[in-house]
Structure 1
């Protein structure tokens, strides 16, 4: 009979160990769950704050004193961007090119793209730029870079000579400061 009690005690001890291990796992998972909830709450608050800021912004109250895009071409000035690094107009992080502006006003990835295109001996494609700016040559990265290239063309920083072939903007030469559209 003594061995039956010993067996029950051994099983009880093993069950107690499993319960304690499960409680420790539960405590660790509770900490992870609380951290995930806090992260979710921070993101919710950030999204709501951005929505409030954007809702308060109107075309009559731009983020900078001069909305250069609404001025006639002859009156456009670079003073809104002079000496600015990564200048943002509202939610416009890639400004329209203006005489006197350099790539230093662009966000880093756009600045890198402009520099790669400027250093290229001829027209370049998005898939050639991606590895030169430190990204893996994956379809998603190439498409994202192509979208950035198109945005840079739209904003006057680059030209697209043929579909998918990008070059520095022709009007950016020093002797053509008034060849603006």
Structure 2
């Protein structure tokens, strides 16, 4: 009986910790939802459809008035025909413009000083991560490992902004 009571006390403690963690997660989700709802309209928000909202959950409008539960925000949208770099966050837009202005494929360490960052390893790696994200989303191509160029299908480099 004493062993069962000890086990019950231990499980009760774990249950209380789990409840507290869940409470913090709910508060965090509410805060993120409020912040996203107040975001500037110029910044694109892409919400992942997570099904119907649960009780007490707020719904936020995303692109084209579609109402969805917000789970994550896609700050770098997938390139689609007609999209220009001005829909990208400024750091990504600067990178696309530098790549577009380059006479050929360019390396991350060449891009970093052109976007106003010091040529430090951390800044180069951060820029490389942004370049990879731009490739994943169709804005740029990686011609060879570490060489970045405009995507032939993207208007990011062939549109009016990039000549």
8 Å CA contact 1:97–1:155 kept in 2: the answer is yes
Alignment correspondent of 1:99: 81
8 Å contact 2:79–2:138 — kept in the other structure?
A: yes
1:49 offset after TM fit, Å?
A: 5.5
Of the three residues 59, 79, 97, the one matched with 2:49 is: 59
CA shift for structure 1 position 58: 5.9
Unmatched runs of 5 consecutive residues or more in structure 2 = 1-24, 35-46, 52-59, 157-163
Contact 1:149 1:158 survives alignment (8 Å): yes
1:108 counterpart = 2:93: no
TM-score (norm 2): 0.57
Deviation at 1:59, TM superposition (A): 1.9
SS in 2 for 1:171: coil
Structure 2 residue matching 1:121: 3-state secondary structure: coil
Q: Distance in 2 between matches of 1:173 and 1:102?
A: 6
CA-atom RMSD in angstroms: 3.4
**Secondary structure of the equivalent of 2:141?**
strand
Aligned to 2:122: 140
* 1:164 shift after superposition: 0.6
- 1:51 deviates by 3.3
- Mean CA deviation greater in 163-172 or 148-157: 163-172
Stretches (4+) displaced over 4 A: 47-50, 53-58
Task: Name the structure where helix makes up a greater proportion of residues.
Answer: 1
Q: Specify the SS of the correspondent of 1:170.
A: coil
CA apart distance, 1:52: 3.0
User: Among residues 130, 146, 158, which one is paired with 2:140 in the alignment?
Assistant: 158
Q: Against the structure 1 CA distance between its residues 129 and 64, is the aligned structure 2 distance closer, same or farther, given a 3 Å change threshold?
A: same
Question: TM-score scaled to structure 1, two decimals?
Answer: 0.51
Q: Shift of the alpha carbon at 1:170?
A: 1.1
Asked whether the 8 Å contact 2:106–2:149 carries over to 1, the reply is: yes
**Structure having greater relative contact order (Cα 8 Å, sep ≥ 6):** 2
| Larger Rg over CA atoms | 1
- Is contact 1:63-1:90 (8 Å) kept? no
